[in-house]
Amino acid sequence: MQFLKEIKYRKVNFLLSVIGVMAAVALMVVFITMTRASQNETRRLTRDMGFNLRIVPEETDMNQFWIAGYSERTMPQKYVQKLVDAKAIYYAHLTATLHKRIVWNDIEVMLTGISPDELEVGQKKKSKMIFAIAPEKVYVGYEIANKFKIKTGDKIDILGQSFEVERTLTEAGSDDDIRFYFDLKKLQSLVGMEGRINEIMALNCMCSTKGDDPLAALREQMEQILPDTKVIMNKSIAVSRERQRKMVDSYFELILPVVLLICALWIAGMAMLNAMQRRHEVGILRAIGYSTFKVALLFFQRAALAGVIGACLGFVIGNWFSLSYGPDIFKVTVKSIKADYILLGWSLLLAPLFAIIASFIPVMNTISQQPAQILKED
C-alpha cells in the first residue's frame, strides 16, 4: 500500500484533492436535490394557477360558451374514463364538471358540480387539484356569501333542497365568486341531468408535447379518442406554466456543467501539483524497472481514494445543506426534499472515476517522459 504512505506524507495535497471531489459531489447533490424540489415546486405552483384545458362537446356554440362561461351542451360523464383508458399522455388531473346558471334569490348564480374522482392517465399518483364535497353540503362563492351574509354551517335552500354550507370561499376575482360548488352526482340529480357533464377540466403538463403548437397536438390526440368533443386551452396559463418550467430546467442545465467543470479543473490542478512534486519519484521508479502502468497506478489509486472519501463527505454535506436550507426556499413541496441514497451510490461510482479522469492528463504527462530526462534535471 505504497500510495497510502504517500498520502500520509503529502496530507495537504491529498486533503485539497478530497475537498475538490467533495465540493463537486456536494454541489451535485445540492443541485440535483434542489432541482427536483424546484421542479416539484414549479410544477405545483404553476398547477395552482388552475386548469388550463377545457374539453367540451363538439357542438358547443363558442359565443354562448364565452358569454355564459360554460357550454350549454352536455356529454356523457363516462368520456372521462374513455380518456383515461386511451392513455392520453397530454392530459392530467381529469375532472368531470357540470355547470348550470340559475336565478337564486333574484340574482344570477352558477351551480357547478365537481366529480370527487379526479382521474389520472397512467399509474402515477398526483396530489389532487380539486376538493371533494359531500352530497348534502355546498361551497359558496365570495360574492354570494357576502351579499346574503352566509356563514359556514348555515342551511340554505337551492332548487328546493336544503344544503349545509361547508365553506365560504375567499375572493377569487372571477366568476367563481358567484358560484355554488356541489358534488357532481348531487347536482346532476338536482338539475335532472344524471350521467351528463358539460365539461372536463384538465391540466396539460406541456412536458410531452413537441414542436411549437401544443394545442394542435392535443386536438389531434382528442380527435382520435373523443371525436365529438373539442379542446380549449387557456393559453396564458399554459404558456406561463411552460415557460416557467423550461426556465427552471435550463437554469440547472446551465449551472451544473459549469460547477462540475470548475471542480474537474481543481482536481486536475491538484493532480498536476502532486505529479510535479513527484517527478523525481516517477523518474527513479521507472529507472529501477517500474512499468508505466505500475507508476500510473500509484497516482490513480490516490485519485480513486480521494474520489471515494470526497463522495461520502460530499453526499453528507450536500444533503445537510439541502435539508437545512431547502425547506426555506421550497415551502410548498417541503416534504419532497429528502436524502436520496441512490445518489450516494452514483457518487461512489462516479466521483473516483471523475477524479481519475481529471488527473489523467497531468499524471500521464509526467509518466510518459523518459526517466533520463527527469533524472538529468539535477
Site residues (vs another protein, CB under 8 A) = 2, 5-6, 8-10, 280-281, 283-285, 287-291, 370-373, 375-376, 378
Residue number, 166 or 281, with CB nearest to another protein: 281
**For another protein, the closer CB: 290 or 330:** 290
Q: How many residues does the chain have?
A: 378
Cβ proximity to another protein: between 8 and 210 the closer is 8
Q: Would you tell me how many other CB atoms lie within 10 Å of the CB of residue 100?
A: 20
CB of 296 to another protein, least distance (A): 14
List CB contacts of 19: < 8 A, sequence separation 6 or more. Answer: 310
d(CA 73, CA 53): 17
Edge-to-edge strands, sheet with 199-203: 155-158, 161-168, 137-140, 179-183, 107-114, 92-104, 199-203, 53-57, 229-233
C-alpha–C-alpha distance, residues 84 and 91, integer Å: 9
Could you tell me if 101 and 68 are in contact, meaning their C-beta atoms sit under 8 angstroms apart? yes
CB of 281 to another protein, least distance (A): 6
SS3 43: helix
Q: How far is the CB of 291 from another protein (least distance, A)?
A: 6
Q: Which is nearer to another protein, 113 or 283 (CB)?
A: 283
Q: What amino acid is encoded at 336 in this protein? A: S
Provide the minimum distance between the beta carbon of 280 and another protein in the complex, in angstroms, as a whole number. 5
For every residue of 240-264, DSSP letters joined together read HHHHHHHHHHHHHHHHHHHHHHHHH
Q: Give least dist CB 2 to another protein, A.
A: 7
- In the chain, where do the E strands start and end? 53-57, 75-76, 92-104, 107-114, 137-140, 155-158, 161-168, 179-183, 196-197, 199-203, 229-233
**Kind plus residue range of the DSSP H or E element containing 236:** helix 235-277
Give the H or E element holding residue 220.
helix 214-225
Min dist CB 305 to another protein, Å, is 15
Alpha carbon distance 347, 29 (integer Å)? 9
- CB 19, min distance to another protein, A: 21
Minimum CB separation from another protein for residue 26, in Å? 29
Backbone angles phi, psi at 96, to 5 degrees: -80, 135
Residue 284 CB, nearest distance to another protein (Å)?
A: 4
User: Closest separation between CB of residue 288 and another protein, Å?
Assistant: 4
What value, to the nearest 5°, has the Cα angle with vertex 304 and ends 300 and 309? Answer: 150
CA distance 267 to 273: 10
**Beta-strand relationship, 53-57 and 137-140:** unpaired
In sequence order, which residues have a C-beta less than 8 Å from that of residue 73 and are 6 or more positions away? 56, 57, 59, 60, 198
Q: Which is nearer to another protein, 10 or 137 (CB)?
A: 10
